[in-house]
Amino acid sequence: MSAFNLAGILAHHADRFPDRPCLEWGDETISYAELDRRAGLAAAGLAALGIGRGDVVALLLYNCPEFIEAMFAVARLGAVVMPLNWRLAGAEVAYIAEHAGAAAVISEPELVPLAEAARARLGGAPFISVGEAPAGWTRFDALRAAGSPPPPAAVEGDDLHRLMYTSGTTARPKGVMITHANLYWKNIGHVVEFGLTGADKGLACGPLYHVGALDLTSTTVLYAGGTVEIHRKFETGAVLDALEGRAISNVWLAPSMVTQILSHPTLERRDLSSVRLIIDGGEKMPLPLIERLVRAFPNAWFADAYGLTETVSGDTFLDKRKTVERLGSVGKPCLHLEVEIWDEQDRPVPAEALGEIVLRGPKVFKGYWKDHDATAAAFRGGWFHTGDIGRLDPDGFLYIADRKKDLIISGGENIASPEVERVLYEHPAVLEASVVGRPDPRWGEVPVAFVVFREGQQASAEELVEFCRERLARFKVPREVRVIETLPRNPSGKVLKRVLREQASAPGAAALVSCRYGSSPPPTSPSSGAGT
């Protein structure tokens, strides 16, 4: 058995601490010994269906213990696990499954129609159901009756552990190749960063197809020998119940999840003092939300994080000692990772200068599946180019400005949309806000804001513009405010600014309220924004 194989971690803990709780699912507790037994038998069943080393096994499942069991079973065979996003359309699932060459699909009754969309493209690949199996499918629990568990396969660090497809906001999704070594180094870095032990209990309430719940919570906690409580889907009340009464020590929350928690009517009556670690990530969180979260969880370390699917998540974290002092920063890199800021000529820039965030280290992915050109472009100069814009202060703390494609350049001035969004979030009527650039014949681009109001609250577009004008440089003030019911999000929960840019360029669209204010131009500065 290779030291890198994730299945070996489960076997280790099962041997040393067989009765320790591994997974909690409602009223069911699954020990390390029991999960290791189930995963071993499931691996035997998959092998009987022809699954072997290097084969891709797709998981199209809501959160459940079988998701984790299948992940370990696939690793045990030296095969490659591929979590699929259940929010995708059938055509998207079919494309990903075919592009990856999936050798098997594991799904469940509610998602059978979505899984079936891929059947025609996968030839005779077996389809396996967690629960009642439709005609032509195999029951997942029947896999455990196939024979004796095989030992964890010997794998090299560079062998693939997982394929994860990016959300594809601008093009077809790309398959991110995560190796066993990538996961290994990520786990080591995060265990050291957070001091995780077998006494920790993580809450996986976000979707396990996403690196947030899977890797910022589950795989790291399991690596340390702790316990993971699994929720089928995110439900605000149930999450608060768990955080208050089930000895949860750490949880990953996307900004949209934080918004729902902070808006819950019972929040102020909750005793949330037992939570010691909250990791945030997925998109930049507005400062007002961070401040409210810190107040709601008085004993928690709010580790504002930066990371990507390509790096198995969690590249930088804000140190607990600096939560207030460096509010707004996403901290410093975790162990075994380097971060630099480069200009458009791929040269490092001085402290405080904006540029593209580039990363280097053993947790950075191997490349994009079947896409040599995209891989070569992403690793120019030997560093991974994230496509995100940020800056490092003189002490090495990272600040995120924007996605490279989302930076608004107006009259020669750079406008980082989160800066404008932060101000909008400070308005008491605003629940969510997103700012994009709209083409302008004179200034190149001008900012347009989309806002969602809190339930029962209202504000005029003119009022919001004036609110921004009092707090921002004039060129940063939204030229237009549109009030919408919900922000469009991709299947991973990130705001689809591409969709908002399209809407911003279509004045008078249905269900939008807009307000244009004067024609005060942004100041023109020929030298500003150079190199970004």
pLDDT at position 299: 92
**Does the pLDDT of residue 520 top 80, yes or no?**
no
Residue pLDDT, tens place only, 328-372: 889 999 999 999 999 989 999 999 999 999 999 999 999 999 999
**Does the pLDDT of residue 15 top 60, yes or no?**
yes
Instruction: Give the Å distances, CA to CA, from 232 to 20, 221, 464.
Output: 22, 18, 38
pLDDT band, very low/low/confident/very high, at 264 (cuts 50, 70, 90): very high
* Residue 354: φ, ψ to 5°: -75, 145
**Does the pLDDT of residue 149 top 60, yes or no?**
yes
Tell me which residue of 185, 183, 181, 182 sits closest to 334, measured CA to CA: 185
203-232 mean pLDDT: 96
**Does the pLDDT of residue 512 top 70, yes or no?**
no
45-68 mean pLDDT: 98
Given its phi and psi angles, is residue 482 left (phi above 0), alpha (psi -120 to 50 degrees) or beta? beta
Residue 318 DSSP symbol? -
Number of residues that this document lists for the chain: 532
Residue pLDDT, tens place only, 434-444: 999 998 877 77
Given its phi and psi angles, is residue 460 left (phi above 0), alpha (psi -120 to 50 degrees) or beta? beta
pLDDT at position 280: 84
pLDDT at position 282: 60
Residue pLDDT, tens place only, 485-502: 999 987 667 788 889 998
Which domains, from first to last, does the chain contain? 407-516 (3.30.300.30)
**Does the pLDDT of residue 43 top 60, yes or no?**
yes
Query: What is the rounded CA–CA span in Å between residue 92 and residue 71?
Result: 22
103-111 mean pLDDT: 97
Identify the weakest region by mean pLDDT among 70-84, 214-228, 311-325: 311-325
**Does the pLDDT of residue 235 top 80, yes or no?**
yes
Burial 504-516 (b: 16+ CB within 10 A, else e): beeeeeeebeebe
